[in-house]
Structure 1
Amino acid sequence: MSNDIWVALIEVAPLLLAIGAGVLLVLLFRKVLEEKLLKANKVVIGSFALESAGEALETARPDAPVPDLVAEALVQRTKKLSGSLVSLRILWVDDRPLGNQHERRYFRAAGITVVNAVDTESAMRELRRDDYDIVVTDFARESGPDDGILFANQARREGFDQPFVAYIGRVDPTKPDPRGFYKVTDRPDDLVSAVLELAEARDRRLRRTAGRRGPS
């Protein structure tokens, strides 16, 4: 082999070694890299879905439009809580669920689990069957104008102490809020704010509990 070839091989040897090392590292850490990329893609997709849901929230109720700056502020606040929202579970009781599909879409885009029930019977069955952090309910249904209030009262009698948020067609400012409700509103932004407040309160309780237990 001529001297020129040896010189050329020596010159490209560092490059070949670097390429080989890179390939070896990719092979060794392929699974980790794939998981990181998948997680990054999920974050990007999740962020886009939440922002899209936030835009839809602006016109969720034509009679109570949400200003775009308010919707954007809710999206940013939701993103800051994203780590804890993925474990949050909402039971939503409404006999006309199509009327609040944009609101439910927002919560689901935030990572919250939302389970629907259309009447008191199915809602009580869900409460007895599974754990929920928050209950959102209507008031008036075809079966009665105060069914949501009666449902909340029944749940309390049976020992369920989850915070109840009422999301109704129209708030009457002349009537006091029924007892036992954390919030009564007819506005999408107020509903989201109430849920985020309750999520923050839950996080504080969990931290206090963990602090009292101390290190294991």
Structure 2
Amino acid sequence: MTFDDFIRLVQACTALVAAVAWPLVVLFVLVRFTPALKDFLLDLGELSFKGGGFEASARRVKEEVKAGLVAAEVGRTAEAAPTLRQASQAASAATDAVNTRTIRRAQGATALWVDDRPDNNRLERQSFETLGMSFVLATSTEEALRETARRKFDVIISDMGRPPDARAGYTLLRALRERGDTTPYVIYAGSNAAAHQEEARRAGALGATNRASELFALVLSALDGRA
């Protein structure tokens, strides 16, 4: 074996050791420091971490959510529909809170949406689903009570009138609270009057609105309490 052959053999052995050792080192670091790394990465996301794709991903999600909220706002027929500019401004304000931590909190969250016409809320649901949320749909108070008896939800969204009960949103809320269910509850109905918002809060709801952007903000505030 020549000296050059010996050098090449040493280099090959070194490369082999490095290829085997580095994964083991990375594995050790991940196992040993996982909690600290988790918090560190979340903090980086809050500080607009660049280079790893986190910021770009959060920005893309934010834009998709905003587009969905604008479409939902303009498409609603309750009361006076906002102009495209007003809807865009409201959606921008609502999605300002969207970042990597928000997305992480929403992922895995499940909401119960109670409405006798679920197709009316398709765009709103799609905006939440962009964040990673999932939904169970119920079209009556009775069905909603059965669903809540079977499982725990992170938030409940309900319309107000469901024939023959013009105040079905409050009927469901009262029934839930009477059996000790304190799941955050949001009313998404046809009115956005201040008196109706106050009535909803007095009844134990997190809030009431007929605006998609306000609904988005209310649901995010509900998810703030998730473990």
> Do they superpose with TM above 0.5?
yes
Given the alignment of the two structures, is residue 52 of structure 1 paired with residue 64 of structure 2, yes or no?
A: yes
Aligned residues of 1:89 and 1:112 also touching (Cα < 8 A) = yes
Please give the alpha-carbon distance, in whole angstroms, between the structure 1 residues aligned to 2:53 and 2:147: 33
Aligned residues of 1:137 and 1:148 also touching (Cα < 8 A) = yes
- Describe the superposition over 1:18-55 as per-residue Cα deviations: whole angstroms up to 9, x where unpaired: 432344347868999xxxxxxx8999878745542332
From 91, 94, 98, the counterpart of 1:75: 98
From 167, 172, 182, the counterpart of 1:161: 182
From 15, 19, 34, the counterpart of 1:19: 15
Question: What are the equivalent positions in structure 2 for 1:100-115 lying under 5 Å apart?
Answer: 100-115=121-136
Structure 1 position 184, deviation (Å): 0.5
> Identity, % of aligned pairs?
23
Question: What are the equivalent positions in structure 2 for 1:154-193 lying under 5 Å apart?
Answer: 154-173=175-194, 175=196, 176-178=198-200, 179-193=203-217
For 1:36, the equivalent position in structure 2 comes to: none
Mind listing any 5+ residue stretches in structure 1 that lack a counterpart?
33-39, 207-216
Aligned residues of 2:73 and 2:213 also touching (Cα < 8 A) = no
- Describe the superposition over 1:94-113 as per-residue Cα deviations: whole angstroms up to 9, x where unpaired: 11112222222232332333
TM-score, length-normalised on structure 1?
Answer: 0.70
Change (3 A) 1:128 1:177: same
Change (3 A) 1:190 1:20: same
Change (3 A) 1:13 1:43: farther
Q: Which amino acid aligns with 2:65?
A: A
- Describe the superposition over 1:103-141 as per-residue Cα deviations: whole angstroms up to 9, x where unpaired: 222323323332211111110001111112321100023
Please give the alpha-carbon distance, in whole angstroms, between the structure 2 residues aligned to 1:17 and 1:43: 40
TM-score, length-normalised on structure 2?
Answer: 0.67
For 1:151, the equivalent position in structure 2 comes to: 172
Mind listing any 5+ residue stretches in structure 2 that lack a counterpart?
29-51, 75-80
Quick check: 67-76 or 138-147, which moved more?
67-76
Please give the alpha-carbon distance, in whole angstroms, between the structure 1 residues aligned to 2:186 and 2:168: 14
Aligned residues of 1:58 and 1:71 also touching (Cα < 8 A) = no
* Aligned residue pair count: 190
Given the alignment of the two structures, is residue 61 of structure 1 paired with residue 73 of structure 2, yes or no?
A: yes
From 154, 157, 164, the counterpart of 1:136: 157
For 2:221, the equivalent position in structure 1 comes to: 197
Structure 1 position 167, deviation (Å): 0.9
Please give the alpha-carbon distance, in whole angstroms, between the structure 2 residues aligned to 1:23 and 1:83: 33
